Structures are given as C-alpha cells and as structure tokens.
Amino acid sequence: MAELAAIVTGGGSGIGRATALALAEGGANVLVVGRRAEPLTEIEQAHPLIRGHIADVAIESEVDQIVKAAVALWDRVDVVVNNAGLYSPAPLADVTVEQIDRLVRMNIIAPTLLARASLPYLTVNGGAIVNVTSIFAQKAAARNSHYAATKAALESLTRSWALELAPLGIRVNAVSPGPTETELLARSGLPAERIEAIKERETAAIPLHRRGAPDDVARWIAAFADPAASWVTGEVFCVDGGLSLV
C-alpha cells in the first residue's frame, strides 16, 4: 500500500486505532480523525506515517476540512475507512427522538458526508471505501433495535454505493464486527455491572468463546483497502467468532 493516503475515522482507539496502524505498517500515509486530542497525539507517536486531525465527522463543514487536510498533506485520498460510530442501547418503550437522531447522524449521515467529500480524489486512482458496521445489522438484538437499524442502513449503503461507484473505479465494502473489546460499551452510558454482564453473555454465545480484539477486525479492513483486492466490491464481511451462525 505504499504511497496510498487513507482517512480513518474514530481512529484514536479500538478498531480505528488498530486499522490506522495496520495501514501505516503496510506503507500507507494515514490521517486519523477523532474528537479527543490525547489519543490522536498518542497514535501519531506510534507510527511516523500517521497524522491526527480533530473533527466531528457528523458536521458537514468539519468533514470537508478532513478531506482538505489529507490533500494538503499528501495531495491525494485513496482510502476512506468509516469506522466512527455510536452505540446507544434502548428498549422501544424508552427510546427518544434525540437518541435516534444521534444514532442516525453518527452511523448513517457521517459516513455519507465523508464518502461524498472524498469522491473527487477517490476517482483519480480508483480508491476504496470501507465501512465498519456490526453483526447486529444482520442479527436481531433486543433493546438495541435502532443501533442495529442504523448499521443495517450502512450495509445497504455499502452495496448501493458499490454499484453506483464501480464505473468510477471506486470499490466499496464493509466489515461487520462481532462483539469486540473497544470503548464502545464504556461510552454507551451503561453501568459497569451491566457492561460486564453483557460481555459474559456475548462470550458465552460466540462459538469461538471469546470477544474479538481490535486487531482481529483491523486486518480485514486493511485487506479491503489494499489495491490487491481490486476485484472485490459490494461485500459485507463478518468478523465475529462465528456469532452470525447461531
């Protein structure tokens, strides 16, 4: 992936951080986008090909600045990884319009904004968009219906964009992780004891009997981003320890 320029959102921790490092280790220049300065500084120090950029990916003007920053650094954008997302559980009886709006903005609108803003540059060399969804886009999840619905929408966008952008030489794929050890649950606002109960339940349900690590997912995101995958588009690839099978 030498000389490629990639943008990775939500890259300060978890799957995004692991993806940024995997791309950089493959020789790509990587702009890591997040809302917190400290994790971005840390990942910049972790690899010389990584640069950090503070932005809110759900705000259109800030997304435009993300793309401009990458172009200013490397004069190109070849890969977009839409990893930033929001998890916010709620049963139907308790869900609020505000909660649904936040899920839609982060899990549907934000990936759309970055994909759209990057299009003029992705067409130059036949770039790649990789969306990070969730196994719960395909698997029913009680108390998580709106989160699951937004991730299912992102999978639908992946397939439709793949058809739309194929004549431009742009590939669009998605990686659908199962339960993975990231900050997603901790940021959901759930109490610690509930989080531990969820983790135990998920581990018991996964055929391979463990939750995923960020590197388990990142390697497949990097594989879809690689020009070597030039004949693969419109795919949604599950990385879930077999959870989708049960």
Question: Count H helices, E strands: the chain?
Answer: 8, 7
What are the E-state strand segments in 3-127? 5-9, 29-34, 50-54, 79-82
pLDDT of residue 188: 63
pLDDT for position 112: 98
What would the two tokens of residue 159 be? 């397939």
DSSP per-residue string spanning 50-73? EEEEE--TTSHHHHHHHHHHHHHH
CA dist 176 → 141, 146, 165, 197 (Å): 15, 17, 21, 23
At residue 190, the pLDDT reads 72
Rounded to whole angstroms, how far apart are CA atoms 67 and 77? 8
Contact 1/10 with Cβ under 8 angstroms? no
- Which residues are annotated as catalytic? 147
Average pLDDT per consecutive 10 residues, the chain (246 residues; last block may be shorter): 90 95 98 96 97 98 98 98 93 96 98 98 97 94 93 98 98 96 70 79 90 96 97 98 93
Nearest to 158 by CA among 225, 216, 112: 112
Domains of the chain and any CATH numbers: 5-184+213-238 (3.40.50.720)
**Residue 2 confidence (pLDDT):** 65
Q: What is the C-alpha separation between 185 and 192, in angstroms, rounded?
A: 9
Tell me the torsion sign for CA atoms 108, 155, 6, 24: positive
What predicted TM-score, i.e. pTM, was given to this entire model? 0.94
Look at residue 240 in the predicted model and tell me its pLDDT.
95
